[in-house]
Amino acid sequence: MTDLDKKGPQDAPPPAAHPEAIKAIPVRHYGRYVSAVIALAVLAALVWAFAKGDINWGAIPDYFFNDRILRGVRETLILTFVSMAIGIAGGVLLAVMRLSRNPVTSSIAWFYIWFFRGTPVLVQLFVWFNLGFVFDYINLGPVYKDEWSDFMTPFLTALLGLGLNEAAYMAEICRAGLLSVDEGQTEASHALGMSHGKTLRRVIIPQAMRVIVPPTGNEVINMLKTTSLVAAVQYYELLKYAQDIGQTSGATVEVLFLAAAWYLIMTSILSVGQYYLERYYARGSSRALPPTVLQRIKANMLSLSNRPSGGVSA
Amino acid sequence: MTAMVKAEGVHKSFGNVQVLKGIDLEVATGEVFCLIGPSGSGKSTFLRCINHLEKINAGRLYVDGELVGYRQKGQKLYELRDTEVARQRRDIGMVFQRFNLFPHMTALENVTEAPVQVKGESKATARERAGQLLERVGLGDKAKSYPSQLSGGQQQRVAIARALAMEPKLMLFDEPTSALDPELVGDVLDVMRDLAESGMTMIVVTHEMGFAREVGDSLVFMDEGVVVESGHPREVLTDPRHERTKSFLSKVL
């Protein structure tokens, strides 16, 4: 190795007092202008087509807060959250079964996931709906006995169809989350004398949540939309009520728009909720928490008003 | 002096690979016992056997006179239940090469977690003692910081405080300074030296020969799953008898 010629600070050239700010002509991206114009033109054509179409726009506000629509919204939300609860509970159970060292439980979990992920949820819904052709009675021994048709109401059909299917997806999400936590965490907890259960509850799951929450938020939003499928098994939720109103009032397409608007409103609210949940579980993983929506809006406003008036002029 | 740790013919293999091929040694109470050797010599594995993070395949391992991981009745060995193994581990603190702090808890919460959850201490007492322990490792002002906001050296010192919170009778150090930037090693070694002076029994797997020479009471050189040479650190490090020890030391010193 040759001796490097080390420069002390006294050898460095004196820094210029104020280096001149660079004023360069930015590169022009003509392709961007062209694509923007094309996109705008297509959008305008679409808007024009719908405006010219025979749509009774007035029907949408008329029915927006209709009793039946509101009832449908409520049913949709109930169905979403209850089936999601079934899905999460079942998913956690399946994930733990799948990861257990017991070959019987892990194979059963594997089979369950294979079956429910491998068949369309609409088919599953129809199967639940039509099980009455196979069973006349439900008989749980001394606990419960009833005629099948009284037992399997449309609500239960919808819940079982959506919830059990969701459990298979949640199981994979939970499993990925649990596996994502470093093995060293388990070792450290065990070395401190913590039991398996405590380790799971206090150390592994809180960290797995960071991996589990974002996809679960997606699942909730997906579930909200998937609930519309249960209209096919005669369960009255938002879509089914909307279709009913459409048939009686003749505003078929308009009420579908209306339903779509309600779905959009609900999914948007859920997205905001998901953002805050993710923020909560990001504790400790990044040095600073991501800003809340309000903080972000504030920051944006400040940066707008503080934007230097001079800057680089094109 | 009584033996805190006693190993008799400890064997351990992973699949077909024999990692420990019969380790016999004794660690006296209050002693600072250093384990050195090339990587793959089995020193970390041996350390992990002491608190049953690894199950041994043959031999006997005692901590404070108690068989680790098993109960012996006559000639038969019975595996201990998880809860019984957990109880044995309470009294053995461990510090890892990669710290393994709980990233979702603050430094203080890391230290209070085990006393509260395992020993059932009240939160107030645990918090007070955790504050003192953090003070002791020089991090009194970092109680509210999350591990990601701390440097490697600070994280390792929190990890030491976390292990001490359980008031162990034995501390295991698994290359505690190997993952640290060189300028951060000193702070961690200072804490360990301080701990050694307080009379804690310590088993230290390390590459810090300076620390071993200065603080260690005994030193063992391991290679390929066996103890090659043991003795007082100053003797072994300055005047090794075995060729293998000589060639190893010539590379690291």
The pLDDT of residue B232: 95
User: CA–CA distance from A169 to each of A113, A179, A189 (Å)?
Assistant: 7, 16, 29
Please state which of the ranges A101-115, A128-142, A184-198 shows the lowest mean pLDDT.
A128-142
Beta strands in chain A (DSSP E): 137-139, 145-147
Strands B92-95 and B76-79, sheet pairing: unpaired
B104 and A283: CB-CB below 8 Å? yes
Angle of CA points B44, B46, B50, to nearest 5°:
115
Angle of CA points A237, A242, A248, to nearest 5°:
130
Does A286 score more than 70 pLDDT?
no
Of A192, A284, A287, nearest to B118 by CB-CB distance is: A192
Distance CA A142, CA A140 (A): 6
Percent of chain A with pLDDT over 70: 87
* B116 touches A: beta carbon within 8 Å: no
The pLDDT of residue B111: 97
Distance CA A251, CA A52 (A): 16
Instruction: Kindly state the average pLDDT of the residues B114-130.
Output: 95
DSSP line for B177-188: TTTS-HHHHHHH
Confidence of residue A287 (pLDDT cuts 50, 70, 90): low
Does A288 score more than 70 pLDDT?
no
The pLDDT of residue A309: 45
The pLDDT of residue A10: 53
Distance CA A288, CA A296 (A): 14
pTM of the predicted protein model: 0.77
Instruction: Kindly state the average pLDDT of the residues A280-293.
Output: 66
Partners of residue A201 in chain B, C-beta under 8 Å: none
β partners of residue B7: B25, B61
Most confident of A2-6, A136-140, B153-157: B153-157
Instruction: Kindly state the average pLDDT of the residues A78-91.
Output: 95
- A-B CB pairs within 8 A amount to 72
B166 and A284: CB-CB below 8 Å? no
- Return the structure tokens found at B51: 């608190």
The pLDDT of residue B215: 94
Partners of residue A207 in chain B, C-beta under 8 Å: 102-104
ipTM for the whole complex: 0.94
A191-210, pLDDT tens digit by residue? 999 998 899 999 999 899 88
Q: How many CA atoms lie within 13 A of A245 on its CB side?
A: 28
Does B165 score more than 80 pLDDT?
yes
Residue type, B185: V
> How would you list the strands of the sheet with B218-223, edge to edge?
B92-95, B170-174, B201-205, B32-36, B218-223, B226-231
Percent of chain B with pLDDT over 70: 100
Q: Which CATH number fits domain A60-283: 3.30.420.40, 3.40.50.620, 2.40.128.50, 1.10.3720.10?
A: 1.10.3720.10
Please state which of the ranges A9-18, A191-200, B104-113, B127-136 shows the lowest mean pLDDT.
A9-18
Distance CA A150, CA A132 (A): 10
B92 and A191: CB-CB below 8 Å? yes
Instruction: Kindly state the average pLDDT of the residues B209-223.
Output: 94
Query: Cα B197 from chain centroid?
Result: 16
Distance CA A35, CA B78 (A): 75
- Return the structure tokens found at A284: 């400790």
Does A310 score more than 60 pLDDT?
no
